[in-house]
């Protein structure tokens, strides 16, 4: 299948053959295998790269077989166009492709025909992705009712032999790539500060030298310029004991790069400074031997000291791929030579491929799972994160009233009232384990029927996902948006997915009805879960509520949601919400007919079941899934409730995310993890009448 492009080249799909089946009755040959498709045909969800392909699978959720086994397809031998070479790998693009000259060096086909080759038809295909379309059952598949979609990277066990990267290395690259850039920027700033210090010290010491010359009877005209490194001063009366030329930088820096670590050695007249970069950062300072002819000069002090104490300083920091929130321990001990050791130590966690640290005393618990809430609003997602045990470290939103409400509920969190485009502020470590994104949904909402003044800002906020993903570098996380992103603005949905896949993240998304997860209203939203390179995807939670079914509970009713509200609640004063015209009462033992928006409930049930009044703030908060302890401000409470992500739904999805985050941190710490993502790799057995072919046989169809 497929088509021929303008150059006459085939641009269809490919088949990774697992069986060749021959029909003994008519001698027909059927090929069975996994379908692959060029990434240019996924509507922008994957980047358009020449000869990059992805495995395409259609599977059913109620089928117990692995997805790769369900995805087997059969084609006739007559449909085959050509035989192609295929590479299965989890390396980052462009490694192992025809662009990687280092990998292909030495192969005859590349050494002789590299410039003249037609890459599209002759160069190897590289597969790094699996696109899985999941349906609830065969009936919904026939109707075309898609359940959810998953785009993930190939697992280590699914790659070709010797062409894979361990998951631990992928996780390390995910965190350290950005850390190297920040470290380089920090070194540049530090070097500029040191140059400024040396310049000020030079000016200060030039003034001191001229003063000594004047005191010794020299005239300024007779003295040579101290700034000239090639000159010297010959005093006519009392000579100076020694003149130090401070315009010459006597400090030299040597950088040695080894396979297992990076060592930076800084030599100066005061001593030797050594910095080791491995899984931890160790810095040491060894004082230089004392000299009898000249005292060491500390350029960082306003006045040079008369004596210099010998010190050795060592810093031990955690690896850059972990965000530690605990305060370090500080201890000082004495040495026999009266020098001092200042130790700054934080509990470090070795990666999974390293030997575990040997510590005395009780076992150290895994680090806290830090959480960042981007587009936090009044704190709906954060309320759900606290309920599952996540440590909320940061929250970002531009609305002042929403930030005030958030601070009132989560006073220990770093709240940033700013545009997301301006985050993070300088000198803020924004690495987190889990992240959530809730971009503004006004423009993408199905209720948005006319242009608004904030449309440009709301659409621009969606495209901050990629830079914020690079800033926070989370291992796993979630994103929530209105259903209109799929139903009315699918091109924006595809662009949002590409922002995750561009950074090597696996994603799974679904159009969810929140009533199926315990919310009283039929609120439909797009829920997306993602995982960083080398991390397993969190599984989508199974719906818990629905129509009459032995496996599901009944839908939550209005009466269950708003009953037993505390009498002394300041947000529940029914007398203030009475209406002059009595409306028709309705049965509260049913679902809410309508959805909560920024102006209240939109739909048939936009008033209290009694028909005498409107909904109170506390009742709207209950209908949106907020607990009673959540505090609301004096202004904009109904708007904040309508914009909020229901905490009861956030709890359901973040519980799945937390389980995967715990697994990842346990693997990094070297502890055994109980949760493992099962591999979809299948070992096939030949069926009667079939014949094995080579493992890497791939044909164009």
The reply to whether 695 and 568 lie within a common domain is no
> How many domains would you assign to the chain?
2
Give residue-wise pLDDT tens across range 671-693.
Answer: 544 433 333 333 333 333 333 34
- Among 313-322, 383-392, 492-501, 633-642, which is the least confidently predicted range? 313-322
The CA-CA-CA angle for residues 113, 117, 123, to 5°, reads 105
* Residue 247, CB-side half-sphere exposure with 13 Å CA sphere: 10
Q: Count Cβ atoms within 10 A of the Cβ of residue 576 and give its class: 0-12 exposed, 13-18 middle, 19 or more buried.
A: exposed
User: What domain range includes position 32?
Assistant: 14-166+686-700
Per the structure block, which two tokens stand in for 153?
Answer: 């990277």
Tell whether the model's pLDDT for residue 21 goes beyond 70.
Answer: yes
Q: What is the pLDDT of residue 100?
A: 78
Q: What is the pLDDT of residue 424?
A: 86
Give residue-wise pLDDT tens across range 278-312.
Answer: 333 444 444 545 444 333 333 334 333 333 333 33
Closest by CA position to 645, among listed 285, 385, 258: 385
Tell whether the model's pLDDT for residue 559 goes beyond 50.
Answer: yes
Helix axes 380-387, 647-669, angle to 10 degrees: 50
Can you give the CATH number for the domain in which 90 is found?
2.30.30
Q: How far is CA 480 from the centre of its chain?
A: 15
Q: Which residue matches tokens 């996924």?
A: 42
Query: Is 341 inside a domain boundary?
Result: no
Closest by CA position to 29, among listed 74, 95, 71, 84: 74
Q: What share of the chain is helix, strand, coil (3-state, %, to 5)?
A: 25, 25, 50
CA distances in angstroms from 7 to 3, 36, 42, 99, 120, listed in the order given = 11, 22, 22, 21, 10
The reply to whether 640 and 533 lie within a common domain is yes
Query: Is 55 inside a domain boundary?
Result: yes
Q: What is the pLDDT of residue 275?
A: 44
Closest by CA position to 154, among listed 36, 13, 32, 47: 36
Query: Is 261 inside a domain boundary?
Result: no
- Rounded-to-integer distance, Cα 141 and Cα 436, Å: 31
Tell whether the model's pLDDT for residue 594 goes beyond 80.
Answer: yes
Instruction: Write out the DSSP string of 184-244.
Output: HHHHHHHHHHHHHHHHHHHHHHHHHHHHHHHHTT--TTTSPPTT-TT-----SSS--S---
Q: Which residue matches tokens 């810095």?
A: 283
- Rounded-to-integer distance, Cα 582 and Cα 248, Å: 90
Query: Is 312 inside a domain boundary?
Result: no
The reply to whether 593 and 695 lie within a common domain is no
Tell whether the model's pLDDT for residue 398 goes beyond 70.
Answer: yes
Query: Is 221 inside a domain boundary?
Result: no
- Rounded-to-integer distance, Cα 580 and Cα 562, Å: 23
Beta bridge partners of 317: 281
Tell whether the model's pLDDT for residue 538 goes beyond 50.
Answer: yes
Query: Is 49 inside a domain boundary?
Result: yes
Give residue-wise pLDDT tens across range 201-224.
Answer: 776 777 667 656 655 554 434 433
Q: Which residue matches tokens 């830090």?
A: 370
The reply to whether 125 and 25 lie within a common domain is yes
Other CB atoms closer than 10 Å to residue 400's CB: what's the count? 12
Q: Which comes out higher in pLDDT, residue 265 or 164?
A: 164
Q: How far is CA 283 from the centre of its chain?
A: 29
Pairing of strands 476-482, 524-531: antiparallel
Can you give the CATH number for the domain in which 376 is found?
3.40.50.150
Question: Which residues have a Cβ under 8 Å from the Cβ of 578 and sit 6 or more positions away?
Answer: 612, 613
Under 8 Å between Cβ of 369 and 662: yes
The reply to whether 472 and 377 lie within a common domain is yes
Beta bridge partners of 510: 148, 527
- Among 322-326, 565-569, 623-627, which is the least confidently predicted range? 322-326
Instruction: Write out the DSSP string of 61-114.
Output: TT--S-HHHHTEEEEEGGG--EEE-EEE--PPTTTTSTT-HHHHTT-HHHHHHT
Q: Which residue matches tokens 């029909």?
A: 23
Q: Residue 175 — φ and ψ, nearest 5°?
A: -85, -40
Per the structure block, which two tokens stand in for 356?
Answer: 């575990």
Question: Which residues have a Cβ under 8 Å from the Cβ of 504 and sit 6 or more positions away?
Answer: 92, 153, 170, 174, 532, 533
Query: Is 602 inside a domain boundary?
Result: yes
Under 8 Å between Cβ of 375 and 461: yes
Mean pLDDT (the chain) is 74
Tell whether the model's pLDDT for residue 323 goes beyond 50.
Answer: no
Q: What is the pLDDT of residue 190?
A: 57
Q: How far is CA 356 from the centre of its chain?
A: 26
User: Residue 692: is the preceding peptide bond cis (ω within 30°)?
Assistant: no
Q: Residue 118 — φ and ψ, nearest 5°?
A: -90, 100
The reply to whether 548 and 690 lie within a common domain is no
The reply to whether 584 and 693 lie within a common domain is no
Query: Is 140 inside a domain boundary?
Result: yes
Q: Count Cβ atoms within 10 A of the Cβ of residue 377 and give its class: 0-12 exposed, 13-18 middle, 19 or more buried.
A: buried
The reply to whether 506 and 421 lie within a common domain is yes
Q: What is the pLDDT of residue 214?
A: 57
Q: What is the pLDDT of residue 608?
A: 92
pTM: 0.70
Catalytic residue, from 127, 441, 505, 512: name it.
441
Task: Give me the mean pLDDT over the 166-172 stretch.
Answer: 91
Q: What is the pLDDT of residue 349?
A: 35
The reply to whether 690 and 559 lie within a common domain is no
Tell whether the model's pLDDT for residue 477 goes beyond 80.
Answer: yes
Torsion over CA: 369, 370, 374, 379 (sign)? positive
Other CB atoms closer than 10 Å to residue 374's CB: what's the count? 27
Q: Residue 506 — φ and ψ, nearest 5°?
A: -85, 145
The reply to whether 629 and 568 lie within a common domain is yes
Under 8 Å between Cβ of 270 and 310: no
Q: What percentage of the chain has pLDDT greater than the value 70?
A: 65
The reply to whether 532 and 574 lie within a common domain is yes
Give residue-wise pLDDT tens across range 339-392.
Answer: 222 222 233 333 333 333 333 344 445 568 999 999 999 999 999 999 999 999
Closest by CA position to 345, among listed 280, 393, 265: 280
Q: What is the pLDDT of residue 116?
A: 54
The reply to whether 23 and 120 lie within a common domain is yes
- Rounded-to-integer distance, Cα 217 and Cα 561, Å: 94
Other CB atoms closer than 10 Å to residue 351's CB: what's the count? 17
441 assigned to active site: yes
Q: Which comes out higher in pLDDT, residue 189 or 591?
A: 591
């Amino acid at each position: 299948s497929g088509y021929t492009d303008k150059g006459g080249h085939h641009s269809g799909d490919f088949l990774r053959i697992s069986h060749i089946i021959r029909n003994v009755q008519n001698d027909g040959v059927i090929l069975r295998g996994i379908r692959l498709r060029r990434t240019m045909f996924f509507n922008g969800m994957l980047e358009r790269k020449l000869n990059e392909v992805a495995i395409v699978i259609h599977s059913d959720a109620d089928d117990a077989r692995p997805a790769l086994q369900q995805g087997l397809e059969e084609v006739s031998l007559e449909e085959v166009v050509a035989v192609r070479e295929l590479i299965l790998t989890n390396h980052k693009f462009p490694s192992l492709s025809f662009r990687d000259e280092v990998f292909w060096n030495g192969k005859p086909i590349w050494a002789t025909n590299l410039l003249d080759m037609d890459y599209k038809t002759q160069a190897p295909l590289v597969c790094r992705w699996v696109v899985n379309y999941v349906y609830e059952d065969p009936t919904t598949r026939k109707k075309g009712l898609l359940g959810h979609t998953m785009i993930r990277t190939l697992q280590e066990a699914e790659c070709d032999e010797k062409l894979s990267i361990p998951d631990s290395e992928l996780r390390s690259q995910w965190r350290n790539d950005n850390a190297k850039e920040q470290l380089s920027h920090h070194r540049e700033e530090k070097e500029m500060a040191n140059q400024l210090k040396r310049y000020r010290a030079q000016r200060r010491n030039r003034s001191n030298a001229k003063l000594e010359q004047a005191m010794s009877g020299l005239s300024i005209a007779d003295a040579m310029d101290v700034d000239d490194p090639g000159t010297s001063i010959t005093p006519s009366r009392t000579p100076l004991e020694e003149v130090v030329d401070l315009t010459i930088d006597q400090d030299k820096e040597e950088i040695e790069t080894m396979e297992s670590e990076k060592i930076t050695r800084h030599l100066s007249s005061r001593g030797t400074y050594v910095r080791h970069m491995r899984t931890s950062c160790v810095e040491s300072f060894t004082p230089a031997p004392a000299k009898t002819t000249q005292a060491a000069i500390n350029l960082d002090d306003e006045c040079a000291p008369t004596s210099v104490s010998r010190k050795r300083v060592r810093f031990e920091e955690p690896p850059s791929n972990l965000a530690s929130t605990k305060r370090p321990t500080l201890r000082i001990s004495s040495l026999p030579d009266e020098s001092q050791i200042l130790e700054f130590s934080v509990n470090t966690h070795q990666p999974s491929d390293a030997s575990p640290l040997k510590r005395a005393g009780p076992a150290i618990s895994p680090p806290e799972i830090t959480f960042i809430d981007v587009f936090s609003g009044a704190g709906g997602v954060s309320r759900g994160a606290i309920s599952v045990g996540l440590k909320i470290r940061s929250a970002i939103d531009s609305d002042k009233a929403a930030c005030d409400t958030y601070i009132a509920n989560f006073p220990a969190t770093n709240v940033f009232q700013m545009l997301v485009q301006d985050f993070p502020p300088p000198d803020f470590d924004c690495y987190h384990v889990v992240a959530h994104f809730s971009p503004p949904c006004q423009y993408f909402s199905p209720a948005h029927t006319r242009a608004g003044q904030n449309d440009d800002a709301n659409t621009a906020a969606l495209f901050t996902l990629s830079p914020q993903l690079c800033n926070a570098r989370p291992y796993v996380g979630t994103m929530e948006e209105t259903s209109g992103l799929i139903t009315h603005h699918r091109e924006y949905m595809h662009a949002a997915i590409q922002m995750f896949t561009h950074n090597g993240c696996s994603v799974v998304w679904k159009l969810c009805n929140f009533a199926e997860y315990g919310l009283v209203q039929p609120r439909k939203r797009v829920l997306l879960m993602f995982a960083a390179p080398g991390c397993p995807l969190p599984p989508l939670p199974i719906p818990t509520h629905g129509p009459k079914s032995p496996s599901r509970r009944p839908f939550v009713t209005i009466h269950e949601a708003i009953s037993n509200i505390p009498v002394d609640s300041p947000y529940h004063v029914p007398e203030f919400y009475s209406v002059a015209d009595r409306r028709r009462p309705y049965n509260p033992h049913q679902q809410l007919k309508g959805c909560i928006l920024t102006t209240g409930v939109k739909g048939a049930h936009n008033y209290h079941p009694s028909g005498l009044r409107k909904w109170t703030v506390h009742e709207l908060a209950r209908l949106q899934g907020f607990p009673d302890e959540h505090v609301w401000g004096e202004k904009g409470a109904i708007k904040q409730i309508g914009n909020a992500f229901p905490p009861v739904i956030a709890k359901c999805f973040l519980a799945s995310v937390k389980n995967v985050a715990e697994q990842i941190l346990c693997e990094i710490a070297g502890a055994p993890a109980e949760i493992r993502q099962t591999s979809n790799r299948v070992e096939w057995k030949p069926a009667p009448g079939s014949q094995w072919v080579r493992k890497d046989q791939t044909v164009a169809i």
